Structure formats: C-alpha cells, structure tokens
Amino acid sequence: MKKSLCILILVAFGFASVFASGTEDKSEKAKVEEAITLEVWDSSGLKSPYLVKLVEVFEKDNPNIKINRTSYKNYDEILEKALARVATGRLPDIFRQGLYYTNFVVESFSPVPLDDFIAADKVDLSDFPETVLKLAQYDGKQVGLVFQYSVPLNFFNKDAFKKAGIEVRDVEYSPTIDEIEEWSAKLTLDTNGDGQMDQWGINYPFGGVAEVWRHQALIQTYGGTYTTADGRTALLDTEPAIQALDHWGRLALNGYMPVITWKQAYPTFKSGKIAIVAGASTANLTRFIKEVEFDMGTYQMAHAKKRSVPAGGNNVFILSKDPDKQRAAWEFVKWLTSPEGTTIMSKGTGYMPVRKSALRRPELMGDYVKNEPRTRSSLSQVDVMTPWYNWPGGSRIQYMLKDSFWEVMLGKKTTVQASKDVNKKVQAVLDEYFSKK
C-alpha cells in the first residue's frame, strides 16, 4: 500500500512537473512571439495607396510586427516634431527624412548604423547603384538606406512643341540651357490675340524646398559647387552660381516664365498653358501621366558645361534604442528597399527603384520601364547623380537662398548683387557652425 502510494505521488509530481514545464515553455514562447509595434514617421499621407500596400504585405509576412504610421505634411514638419521629442527620448522607431537633411539627422538623432544588420543578413549591396548607397552614408557608415530617390527632369507639351516647330527628341536627350531659353521664347504666346500672353514657355517649380535642389543642379551644370570641398567657404558669388541664378532672372524678366509658386503653376501646366516644367522631380511622373491634358514628353535636366544632377528623395533611418525594436525595424527597412518593395513604391509614385535587379526582372520594373519609356529620362541620369547638398543648421540657409531667387526674378536686385548679398549671409552661418565644431 505504501509502495503504491509512493508511486502515485511520484507520478503526480511527474505530471505536475511536465505541466509546469509545458506552461513555462508556452509562456516563454508567447513572450518571444509577442507583437512589436513600430512607430514610423513619414510625409506621404496616411492613405497613400503604395505605402498602405507596403505595410499590408509586410504585416502579413511578419505577423509579430505591427506598423503604426504617422504622416506629416513635409520634411520640415517631421524634423520639428522629432527635435521636440529629443529631450523626452521618445523618438519614433523609424524615421524618413529628405536627403538634404542626412547630416543633420545623424548629428541630431544618432540613427542606428545598418552595417552590422547588412552583414548579418548578407544583403547584396552591389544590387544598389553606388551613387544611391552613398546618399545614406556618413563618416564611412551606412546610417540609413534610400527609400525614394529622384532626379530633376524636363516635362514638356509635345503638342505645343510641334506647333512651334520645335523638334521632339528622344527621352534621354539633355537639352542645353541655351536651347531651353530659345524654346521658352518661342513657346510664350498670345494665343487668342487679345494682347496678353496666355501661354508661357516654361516654369521651374518654386515655393518649396526643392527650389534649392534645382538651384544646385544649375550650379553644378555650370561647373560649380555651393562651397569649397571642406564646406567652410560659400561660393555663391562665383561665376557658376551667378550664371545659374541669371538663367532664372532672364526667363522671368523676359516674360517667358511666370513668377508664381508651383501650387499656382501646376493647374496652368496641366491645362496646357505652360509648355515646359523644368527641373521637376521624377516623383511627379505617375501623377503627371494621370492628370495632364496633353501628350507629355520628358527629357533629362538641361545642362550648360556638363551634365550633373543632385539626387532628391529621402532616406529611411532607425532611431529606436531598444534592441528588439531595432531588429524589427531592420526587417521593415529591408522590406521597403527590397526588389519587391521598391517596385511597389516606384510604380506608385514615379520615384526610381533603389534595386538594379528590380529593373532586370520583367514582373517587377522590367516590363513597366519597357512600356513607359518616359521613365528612361530619369534612369539615364543615375551615372551623373550627386548627393543633395547638406547645409548645416537645418533649413536656415535654404530660406536665405530662396529669398535671393525671388529678389532676382521679381527684379528687386541684380543677379550679381543678390549673389553677393546671399553669399555674405550664408558665410556667416557657416562661420558660426564651424566655430562650434
């Protein structure tokens, strides 16, 4: 009897032990599989179809990672919100920011370098164009990856060109600055004979930060740069910078380009009353194709002495300090920049895909590019693409530059005077910045 009782007790303890062990195992498993929610900030709009799809596909394939997106109106607003959170340590886990703020993001928020993640997952970096990888590098480290990138293009009205007797060339053609100005003169017309011009030759989109992007493109094509190689000396009063700004002054003061913001100009272009939109982003391609009311062509950015364009777009950074969230965030970043992810983004926007293999695979971007030749105007400029210049101090210098553009186009200052004045202001900011380093 005692022996039987002992056996029963041992069996009971055994079952209890197994049950407890099983419960513990399940508990640990549940803990490991507990969903991680990532806070993601961007400026693409919460209902943006391509981003909604990217998140849906990712969450389906990664059921233990949830994406909580917040979308702001532009890069400046995202930056302001992030700076306001620095003191509290409540930064988003993932953060998308314009290429012109890369250095500022690194210096202000210390994003997680991705080199170890890339090495651990054996990501084939040769599948990214080298010029694209460099856009998210700082001090030799891959501090982020490019999610979207673009170059400036010329979008034009083929019907207006033909009526004006201007030859329509291949999509990979890069017109000269002289050609652009000649075309603009021919395309500025009084179409109804009332003595007032009602078709303008050209518009460079103004009113946003990308004004400075186009300005950089023009300076580079005239053979110049914004500053000396060390970034300490402004070169806005040198000949290339003066020539670049003078191009805008000639177009505006001769009446070939209305001095209005892009918000005002776009309806005019869409209806066929502006013949060329010069230096507009690749990112506009999908929207323009859907909305313009004429046969639209594309060319490369115009050039003076050489072809050279800065990259536009944005990088995606990981800001989380939590190791588990960092790993989860890396999975999302990896998906966004995968051949499949970048295809969803590119077809949904017009931005260029960040993976070479996406362009080679017919089911991804291969057939799309083949059937939409206007995409080649941007893809054929990758070889002459440079980084968007990162001015120190956030947006201060950008607004100084923008003011100088409008002073010239409105005839308030000569190009030379405006260039000298803005160079002095910018140099003061650079001196202040480098004195603190």
Residue 298 reports pLDDT greater than 80: yes
> Does the pLDDT at position 168 exceed 60?
yes
Per the structure, the count of domains in the chain is: 2
pLDDT at 16 over 70: no
Question: Average pLDDT, stretch 284-313?
Answer: 96
| pLDDT of 7 higher than 60 | no
User: Are residue 241 and residue 167 in the same domain, yes or no?
Assistant: yes
The span from the CA of 143 to the CA of 136, in Å, is 6
Q: 8 in a domain, yes or no?
A: no
Shared domain for 290 and 427, answered yes or no, is yes
Is residue 305 domain-shared with residue 400, that is, in the same domain?
yes
Question: Percent of the chain, pLDDT > 70?
Answer: 92
Residue 136 pLDDT greater than 50, yes or no: yes
Structure tokens at 172: 């990979």
User: Is 9 among the domain residues?
Assistant: no
Residue 30 domain flag: no
CA angle 104, 106, 110 (to 5 degrees): 135
- Nearest to residue 323, comparing CAs of 183, 162, 116, 130? 116
| Domain match, 300 and 233 both | yes
Do 210 and 341 belong to one domain? no
Burial 12-51 (b: 16+ CB within 10 A, else e): eeeeeeeeeeeeeeeeeeeeeeeebebbbbbbbeeebebb
The verdict on residue 20 lying in a domain is no
Query: Where on the phi/psi map is residue 207: left (φ > 0), alpha (ψ -120 to 50), or beta?
Result: left
d(CA 429, CA 131): 29
pLDDT in tens, 372-419: 999 999 999 999 999 999 999 878 999 999 999 999 999 999 999 999
Residue 12 lies inside a defined structural domain of this protein: no
pLDDT, residue 394, reads 79
Mean pLDDT over all residues of the chain? 92
Name the pTM for this structure: 0.88
Give the mean model confidence (pLDDT) for residues 49-55. 97
Q: Could you write out the DSSP letters of every residue in 262-313?
A: HHHHHHHHHTTSEEEEEEEEGGGHHHHHHH-SS-EEEEEPPBSSS--EE-EE
Based on the fold, state whether residues 54 and 186 are members of the same structural domain.
Answer: no
Whether residue 341 is contained in a domain is answered as: yes
Q: Which residue has better confidence, 195 or 141?
A: 141
Question: Do both 170 and 266 map to the same domain?
Answer: yes
When pLDDT is averaged across residues 155-159 and rounded to a whole number, the result is 98
pLDDT at position 6 is 40
Are 205 and 336 in the same domain? Answer: no
pLDDT digits 0-9 by tens, 420-429: 999 999 999 9
- Residues 224, 246, single domain; the answer is yes
Both tokens of 304, joined, read: 């003076």
- Give residue 87's pLDDT: 85
Q: Answer whether residue 366 shows pLDDT above 60.
A: yes
Judged against a pLDDT cut of 90, whether residue 10 lies above it is answered with no
The CATH number given to whatever domain includes residue 367 is 3.40.190.10
Residues 193 and 213 in one domain: yes
> How large is the average pLDDT for residues 270-294?
95
Q: How far apart are the first and last CA of the chain?
A: 86
- Same-domain status, 78 and 51: yes
**Per-residue pLDDT averaged across 279-284, rounded?**
94
On the 0-12 / 13-18 / 19+ scale of CB atoms within 10 A, 190 is: exposed
Least confident piece of the model among 21-30, 109-118, 317-326, 401-410:
21-30
Q: Which residues of 89-107 are buried (b: 16+ CB within 10 A; e: fewer)?
A: eebbbbbbbbbbbbbbbbe
Given pLDDT bands bounded at 50, 70 and 90, which one contains residue 33?
low
pLDDT of residue 356: 97
Q: What is the pLDDT of residues 326-348, one digit of tens each?
A: 999 999 999 999 999 999 999 99
Q: Would you say residue 25 has pLDDT above 50?
A: no
Residue 122 pLDDT exceeds 70: yes
Please indicate, yes or no, if residue 110 is contained in any of the structural domains: yes
203-218: per-residue pLDDT in tens? Answer: 999 988 889 999 999 9
pLDDT for 432 beyond 50: yes
Do 228 and 279 belong to one domain? yes
Domain interval for residue 215 = 152-310+391-435
